[in-house]
Amino acid sequence: MKERAGPGTAGAHHHGHIGCCGISRRRLLQVAAASAALGALSGCVSTNPATGRRSFTGLYSLEDDIRLGREEHPKLVRQFGGEYTHPRLNDYVTRIGQQLASYGEYPQLQYHFTILNSPIVNAFALPGGYVYISRGLLTLAGNEAEMAGVLAHEIGHVNARHTAERLTAAQAAQIGVLLGAIGARAAGLPSEVAQLGETVAVMAVQGYSREQELEADTLGVRYMSRAGYDPDAMATFLGSLRAQSQVEAQVLGLPPGEVDEFNAMATHPRTIDRVRQAEAAAQVQRVANPRVAPAEYLGHIDGMMFGDDPSEGVVVGRRFAHPGLRIAFTVPEGYHLRNLPDRVVATTTGNDAMIFDIDEVDRGIRDVRDYIVGRWARDRRLDGVERIRIDEQEAATGWFEANTDRGRVRVRLVAIRRNRNAVYRFLLVTRTSVLAREREALRRATYSFERLSEAEAAKIKALRLLIVPAQAGDRVAVLSRPLPYGQFNEAWFRVMNDLAPDQPLTPGRLLKVIAS
């Protein structure tokens, strides 16, 4: 996680003057402009050269795609931990990506391929040729053809101009709401209807429709086949992705196949049958000797960082440690930890949660108790407010109860002074039905918060993915020990190496292992 900035301020709302007849001349002009815009949108339909179908992209041109991608690129990169800098691997991904993109239907696009410094397994694209693939996904892929299938799928979204279609649909819906609001109220249009609900960056990482995913698969099959790859690699990677999502569900205590919201199966809900359907739709000719290149691929990811980047903190089992901030804490048994860009979240299968973050304030903090009462919970009445000390640091706590869509919960706030202008914060959310001793165990976990010495922080190093040949006598139980997933280490090792649950290791087989 990174440090979080303090709260922002909201802008004021302004409303137009209402005339004696219920609507001003200015409002009539707005109605006319909105009607004209809706008419213009409905008229902007053209045939997409990639898909061959009539595409409704409204007022968004290809130049707009390029501009939007360029503007949103730095925001999205920041959201996912920044770029992962590994010159040889960066060049490799870019070379494969550019080769695939050369078969796209929009030669005027200049493609940019970025490896995101994130252990989350995902890939996505912004309009205009900005394509992203995470460290986590590169760890999961087993050969160059599988990586090429992922990149080709994202290039398919770019050439099908799916984001432009979604923006146009959102804009048309917005104008429809605007016209409906004017017709219903004849004046005083709420300013919030003028705000689009989704940004370009949000659209990039959210799931597409079933039709758009099939379209991207069909185009991806086309591009990778023309580049000499076997499109079956797209299906084999989906098999690995499904296995990974099942292990992730097991870790979270969820039903098999139910995935975390950050998993690529959630943002790209596809099946192997649909890849086969895409292959048929693409009508490609099979390559006689398709390129798969497992050894070359594994050679390029050899030495790549694995899991969390220590600069943003690391999770090992139930412990979170941040060498830069020089802090650490441990969550109770039964809680699963996730390190996100702006916070650390620990949850149970019953949706109890511990959320850790940092809050910075402009005017300084004189008293931590006053901070939680007057700033953090200024709109709530807190019970049990008290000053406490955690790791010899000034702290305070208090709680309240609230109704949620999942029932009534108790929310406890714990703030620990960081310095004059910032606090470390724990937000503890438990169902009111939880036993008192379990709630107290969660509260006591906040007392595990500690400041690390310089020497302790220096010992926290990045894990590295190494490629080694299996030796006679090697066992999964031993090779998987360095992984940071505790009781799930063996399951993760098998998924990483595409090994079935009881499949033995074959001497000489190249394996992905983890080392500090």
Q: pLDDT tens for residues 426-479?
A: 999 999 988 888 888 999 999 999 999 999 999 999 999 999 999 999 999 999
CATH code given to domain 463-515 = 3.10.350
Which pLDDT score, from 0 to 100, does residue 259 have?
Answer: 55
Lowest pLDDT segment from 7-16, 397-406, 488-497: 7-16
Assess contact for 159 and 105: CB atoms under 8 A. yes
As a whole number, mean pLDDT of residues 102-125 equals 94
The model's pLDDT over 385-394, given as tens digits with 9 standing for 90+, comes to 999 999 999 9
Single out the residue of 384, 383, 364 nearest to residue 375, CA to CA.
364
Say if residue 56's pLDDT is above 60.
no
Cα angle for residues 102, 107, 108 (degrees, 5° grid) = 135
Q: DSSP letter for 466, please.
A: E
The model's pLDDT over 278-295, given as tens digits with 9 standing for 90+, comes to 667 667 767 789 999 999
Which pLDDT score, from 0 to 100, does residue 304 have?
Answer: 98
Question: What pTM, to 2 d.p., does this model score?
Answer: 0.79
Which pLDDT score, from 0 to 100, does residue 81 have?
Answer: 87
The residue with greater pLDDT, 413 or 405, is 413
| Size of the chain, expressed as the number of residues it contains | 516
Which pLDDT score, from 0 to 100, does residue 271 have?
Answer: 61
Lowest pLDDT segment from 18-22, 148-152, 369-373, 409-413: 18-22
What is d(CA 211, CA 261) in angstroms, rounded to the nearest whole number? Answer: 21
Q: Copy the structure tokens of residue 367.
A: 């008293």
310-458: CATH architecture: 3-Layer(aba) Sandwich (3.40)
What is d(CA 321, CA 457) in angstroms, rounded to the nearest whole number? Answer: 8
Say if residue 45's pLDDT is above 50.
yes
Beta strands 112-116 and 130-134 are parallel
The residue with greater pLDDT, 244 or 510, is 510
The model's pLDDT over 209-225, given as tens digits with 9 standing for 90+, comes to 788 888 898 999 999 99
The model's pLDDT over 341-367, given as tens digits with 9 standing for 90+, comes to 889 999 988 889 999 999 998 888 999
Say if residue 487's pLDDT is above 80.
yes
Report the largest interatomic distance among the alpha carbons of the chain, rounded to a whole angstrom.
Answer: 91
Where exactly are the structural domains of the chain? 62-163+201-305, 310-458, 463-515
Average pLDDT, the chain: 82
Single out the residue of 190, 185, 160, 158 nearest to residue 174, CA to CA.
190
Which pLDDT score, from 0 to 100, does residue 195 have?
Answer: 36
Which pLDDT score, from 0 to 100, does residue 203 have?
Answer: 58
Q: Copy the structure tokens of residue 400.
A: 């309240």
As a whole number, mean pLDDT of residues 122-140 equals 94
